[in-house]
Copies of this chain bind each other. A is one copy, B any other.
């Protein structure tokens, strides 16, 4: 992959995928039982991908709240999506680090993840992911995800 160094300047970043292309790629890449846990692409813009997920039965833990593991899977998928949207399908990006702060209980209702590129280098990408329900300032979790690019 010949990732131009100036991809690191936000003003010069370009999208490889639009919403439909990114959705199709994810459907193909995750054909199996795990696909539902990654949710659906809502919008794709430079530096920003929004995903949505309806919690499923197996994502819940006692108290009818979404488990931390399910939230992290969704977060990781959203970070992956925003990286792919910029570098395209040739990249076999691998999560390197993920840290998450859980801010509120995640209720059994629509989850939204906003994944924003903070840096896109040649070898490493860093993504901020905000998970919310109801309104954007009602954060459920914030996560910073580091991806290693091949």
For chain A residues 100-121, which have a beta carbon within 8 Å of chain B? 100-105, 118-119
Copies in the complex: 4
Count the A residues whose beta carbon is within 8 Å of the partner chain — how many?
Answer: 48
Contact of A67 among B10, B34, B96, B148 (CB under 8 A): B34
Given the contacts A10-B137, A67-B34, A101 and B72 also touching, CB distance less than 8 Å: no
Contact of A60 among B10, B11, B32, B58 (CB under 8 A): B32
Q: Is the CB of A73 within 8 A of B70?
A: yes
Contact with B along A79-101 (1 / 0, CB 8 A): 00000000000000011111111
Q: Would you give 9 A-B contacts (Cβ < 8 Å), ordered by A?
A: A68-B72, A68-B76, A68-B98, A69-B77, A72-B76, A97-B97, A101-B118, A142-B144, A144-B144
Contacts of A105 in B (CB 8 A): 94
For chain A residues 27-74, which have a beta carbon within 8 Å of chain B? 29-30, 32-34, 37, 57-62, 67-70, 72-74
In the complex, whether A15 has a CB less than 8 A from a CB of chain B is no
Contacts of A32 in B (CB 8 A): 57-58, 60
Contacts of A94 in B (CB 8 A): 102, 105
